Amino acid sequence: MSSTLTIFALMDCNNFYASCERAFNPGLRKRPIVVLSNNDGCVIARSHEAKALGIPMGAPAFKFQPLFKERGVAVFSSNFALYGDMSRRVMDTAARFTPDMEIYSIDEAFLRLDRMHGRPLDLARKIRSTILQWTGIPVSIGIGPTKTLAKVANREAKKNPEHGGTFSLVDYPDQDRILAGIEIEDIWGIGRQYGKKLRDFGIGNALQFSRLDKDWVRKRMTVNGMHTLLELQGVLCIPLDQTVATPKSIVCSRTFAKAVTDKDKLAELISGYAARTGERLRGQGCVAGQLQVFVLTDRFRLDKPQYSNAATVSLAIPSSHTPDLIRAARTALEQIFKPGFEYRKAGVMVFGIEKEQGRRLRLFEPPTQERARYKAVMEAMDRINARWGAMTMRVAAEGAEKRWVMRQAHLSPRYTTDWKELPRAGH
């Protein structure tokens, strides 16, 4: 008999970005695949076969170029339009099985199964096979009485293929054995730093951690660490969160393919990032109160002069209007730009975000009519960009050059989001 009140499932997509590329290209089955970051800089996703070749996560692409060639690794630039769309399909499919779902990241969701009919493990198997059939994306599902234990179960499901992609810790006879097989830094909520610290105390796996004293853990790892501990003991501390919160901050930043020294060029790039944050704010129906600009030189080139700085400006009125954001960004850049440095990365961050609807009006706001006209212009721009591809329409300050700072040598087509690039059936 189990006294479990809650049953969580953690569903995540196996090697998600690599699986997305493979889903539209059956010729890639069994072939090693890697997906590269912006600028094709480093490896951010690997198929099972690529992992087996010893290609680590975050590996600089240039170092592994020879191996890619020698072993016939299929290399892709990241294609977030495709991954975002595939994510939505996977989540929509999962959502058919339970109303209690929290989308946790682009490739992960927590589901509560205790209000559903049938054995949780049977349900998980059904979810898994349906997603595979409908989207072509393989997922793994772990089941446990808390989110943290569902994560543990998910790891077990992945580790041993004989589980067939699903595993349940609920009513499992030997939970200790499973916990003992989880390295300390593989526990959800324990990263490299705490992992090292705990190992210094002789705590090397989840079973040992789960037996620690609650106050001892709290003192050294804050209340979060204590929650992780309790959750491993089966005590629910981290509930399913289905609220759609407005984000606290939105960032758009890039590392450049080649260094930028020119202030005007930098201002153009920054303006583009400000415009992107504006689009995302409007997509959320939000406005931001403050905007920060940051610039950095190449942190790997210690032989060159280093400089990094950030400046924050308050917007006169919380806004999502691109020209407002660009103006603020240019003001902030003025405050921190220093000539003579080779800039390698820059970004724009907005915060003080609130819903536009129901926002408390400030003194000295421009007349509603004028605001409405601004808004109409932005909406038209967003519609055009949604239809014809991002960046089709831009404000002049963003510059005319086409994404010259981005290197994307291995981009796959936008199969699902652009009708011109739909895969052809048959030949």
Partner DNA sequence: TCTGGGGTCCTAGGACCC
Q: Which is nearer to DNA, 116 or 311 (CB)?
A: 311
Going across the sheet that includes 166-168, the strands are 101-105, 108-112, 8-13, 139-144, 166-168
Q: 3-state DSSP call for residue 253? A: strand
Q: Is 222 in the site for DNA (CB under 7 A)?
A: yes
Interface region with DNA, contact rule CB under 7 A, candidates 22-30, 55-63, 131-139, 418-426: 55-63
Tell me the two tokens of residue 188. Answer: 């959800």
Mapping DSSP to helix (H, G, I), strand (E, B) and coil, where does residue 62 land?
helix
- Residue of the chain from 83, 167, 188, 343 that contacts DNA (CB under 7 A): 188
Least Å distance, CB 223 to DNA, is 4
3-state secondary structure 256-312: EEEEECCHHHHHHHHHHHHHHHHHHHHHCCEEEEEEEEEEEECCCCCCCCCCEEEEE
Based on the shown chain and the rule CB under 7 A, indicate whether residue 189 belongs to the binding site for DNA.
yes
CA distance 152 to 142: 7
Indicate which single residue of 107, 156, 279, 398 sits in contact with DNA (rule: CB under 7 A). Answer: 107
How far is 267 from 348, CA to CA, in rounded Å? 11
Burial class of residue 44 in the structure, from the number of CB atoms within 10 Å of its CB (0-12 exposed, 13-18 middle, 19+ buried)? middle
In the chain, % helix, strand, coil (3-state, to 5) comes to 45, 20, 35
Contact residue for DNA among 250, 266, 287, 395 (CB under 7 A): 250
Minimum distance from residue 2 beta carbon to DNA (Å) = 26
Of residues 269-308, which lie at the interface with DNA (CB under 7 A)? 280, 300
The region of 58-66, 88-96, 262-270, 394-402 touching DNA under the rule CB under 7 A is: 58-66
Give the burial class of 200: count Cβ atoms within 10 A of its Cβ; 0-12 exposed, 13-18 middle, 19 or more buried: exposed
Q: CB 39 → DNA: shortest distance, Å?
A: 6
Q: How far apart, in Å, are the Cα atoms of 259 and each of 28, 256, 306, 339?
A: 35, 6, 13, 13
Query: Taking CB under 7 A as the rule, does residue 41 contact DNA?
Result: yes
Residue from 64, 194, 341, 343 touching DNA (CB under 7 A): that is 194
Q: Could you give the string, one character per residue 324-353, with x where binding to DNA holds by CB under 7 A and - elsewhere?
A: ---------------------x-x-x----
* Minimum distance of DNA from residue 420's CB (angstroms): 25
**Where does this chain touch DNA (CB under 7 A) — which range of 142-150, 217-225, 314-322, 408-416?**
217-225
Q: Does 210 bind DNA (CB under 7 A)?
A: no
Which CB contacts under 8 angstroms, 24+ apart, belong to 122-130?
A: 123/9, 123/97, 124/9, 124/11, 124/166, 124/168, 125/164, 125/166, 126/97, 127/9, 127/11, 127/93, 127/94, 127/97, 128/11, 128/165, 128/166, 130/93, 130/96, 130/97
Query: Among 24-32, 99-107, 318-326, 395-403, which window interacts with DNA (CB under 7 A)?
Result: 99-107
Residue with tokens 């440095």: 341
Considering only the stretches 38-46, 315-323, 366-374, 416-424, report the one whose residues sit in contact with DNA under the rule CB under 7 A.
Answer: 38-46
Q: In angstroms, what CA-CA distances link 409 with 78, 79, 238, 403?
A: 10, 11, 42, 13
Per CB under 7 A, does 258 bind DNA?
yes
Q: Which is nearer to DNA, 115 or 309 (CB)?
A: 309
State in angstroms the smallest separation of the CB of 259 from DNA.
7
- Stretch of residues binding DNA (CB under 7 A), selected from 127-135, 167-175, 190-198, 264-272: 190-198
The answer to whether 205 contacts DNA (rule: CB under 7 A) is: no
Q: Is 246 helix (H, G, I), strand (E, B) or coil?
A: coil
Q: Which of 193, 261, 309, 335 binds DNA (CB under 7 A)?
A: 193
66, 72, 173, 192: which one binds DNA (CB under 7 A):
192
Residue 72 touches DNA, criterion: CB under 7 A: no
204 binds DNA (CB under 7 A): no
Interface ranges with DNA (CB under 7 A)? 12, 37-39, 41-42, 44, 58, 60-62, 104-108, 151, 187-195, 222-224, 245, 247-255, 257-259, 280, 300, 345, 347, 349
